[in-house]
């Protein structure tokens, strides 16, 4: 584990409950100077899923007052691993690489670089982020260093949960005519060479929707780099200075898993 990451990871694990509850009164607030931004789309009946996968299903099995006088509710849950905001483990596209159960939290926590490619994506829904986009980001904000997490901002998340607008096609069971931005093979190799910890994007795939060979997936997975897809709310994150924390469901043999992603953003 990298020593510069450890304190913040422990802080989040200790304080995660506070994200959805009233503010916790602490003698010493470990989040002082930061605000927590949730980068996760909700999982519900509107959750966008890969057209050939299983949609999110949340079925009530119990609800109401019980004979003992207490309230009780329970649901059964089913969906594809690659539904909604989720993690792609390296095994997803590279045999012998890590499953979800073996991807360490150390890989999924670290300083964040948000690479803005919105203008390019406005010109083409099939735009693939180039190495020059990464070089331009560095020219403006400094070097992308080993161990950092890089997420590409397209603002495609603003189209969620409209499946047609988000994926470019809403034909159930077919992924042959999808259109949304991704990352080029050139940029994927650039990120590998820089030794980044993880990569993400606010679209349904790190490869463009019209990809048929998923080469960027292959390159990243083959180099043990996990991928975060369907990331939300990147408009709240600065290009630099935030700290990312991603916590997937630990599915032992999983090729992917639903993921709760958050960022610690410095308060000015």
pTM over the 0.95 mark: no
pLDDT recorded at residue 57: 97
> In sequence order, what are the beta bridge partners of 265?
35
pLDDT recorded at residue 24: 59
Distances (CA, A) of 190 to 195, 199, 203, 214, 263: 9, 12, 20, 16, 24
The DSSP secondary-structure symbol of 174 reads -
Residue 154 contacts residue 203 (beta carbons within 8 Å)? yes
Q: Is 120 left (phi over 0), alpha (psi -120 to 50) or beta?
A: alpha
- Spatial CA neighbour of 233 closest among 209, 205, 260: 260
Instruction: Say which residue, 30 or 13, is predicted with more confidence.
Output: 30
- Cβ count near 7 (within 10 Å): 9
- Say what the alpha-carbon torsion angle 245, 152, 178, 158 is, to the nearest 10 degrees: 80
DSSP E strand boundaries for 90-221: 109-116, 128-129, 149-153, 182-183, 198-201
Fold held by 6-52+81-266: Glucose Oxidase; domain 1 (3.50.30)
Average pLDDT of the chain is 92
Evaluate if residue 15 carries a pLDDT over 60: no
Residue-range domain boundaries for the chain: 6-52+81-266
pLDDT recorded at residue 28: 74
Q: Average pLDDT in the 74-79 region?
A: 97
Measured in residues, the chain has a length of 268
- Spatial CA neighbour of 171 closest among 46, 52, 260, 12: 52
| Residue 26: pLDDT band with limits 50, 70, 90 | low
Residue 249 contacts residue 236 (beta carbons within 8 Å)? no
> In sequence order, what are the beta bridge partners of 86?
229, 258
């Amino acid at each position: 584990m990298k020593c510069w990451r450890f304190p913040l990871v422990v802080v989040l694990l200790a304080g995660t409950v506070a994200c959805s509850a009233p503010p916790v009164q602490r003698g010493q607030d470990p989040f002082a100077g930061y605000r927590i931004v949730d980068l996760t789309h909700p999982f519900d009946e509107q959750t966008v899923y890969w057209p050939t996968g299983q949609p999110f299903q949340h079925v009530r099995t119990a609800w109401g007052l019980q004979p003992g006088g207490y309230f009780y509710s329970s649901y059964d849950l089913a969906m594809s691993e690659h539904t909604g905001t989720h993690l792609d483990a390296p095994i997803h596209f590279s045999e012998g690489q890590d499953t979800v159960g073996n991807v360490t939290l150390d890989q999924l926590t670290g300083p964040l670089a948000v690479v803005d490619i919105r203008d390019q994506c406005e010109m083409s829904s099939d735009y693939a982020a180039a190495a020059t986009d990464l070089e331009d980001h560095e020219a403006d904000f400094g070097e992308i260093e080993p161990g950092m997490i890089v997420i590409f901002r397209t603002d495609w998340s603003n189209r969620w949960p409209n499946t047609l607008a988000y994926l470019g096609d809403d034909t159930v069971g077919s992924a042959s005519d999808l259109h949304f931005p991704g990352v080029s093979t050139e940029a994927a190799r650039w990120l590998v060479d820089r030794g980044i910890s993880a990569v993400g994007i606010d679209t349904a795939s790190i490869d463009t929707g019209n990809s048929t060979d998923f080469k960027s997936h292959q390159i990243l997975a083959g180099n043990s780099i996990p991928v975060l897809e369907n990331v939300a709310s990147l408009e709240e994150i600065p290009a630099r200075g935030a700290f990312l924390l991603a916590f997937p469901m630990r599915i032992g043999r999983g090729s992917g898993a639903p993921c709760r992603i958050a960022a610690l953003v410095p308060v000015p």
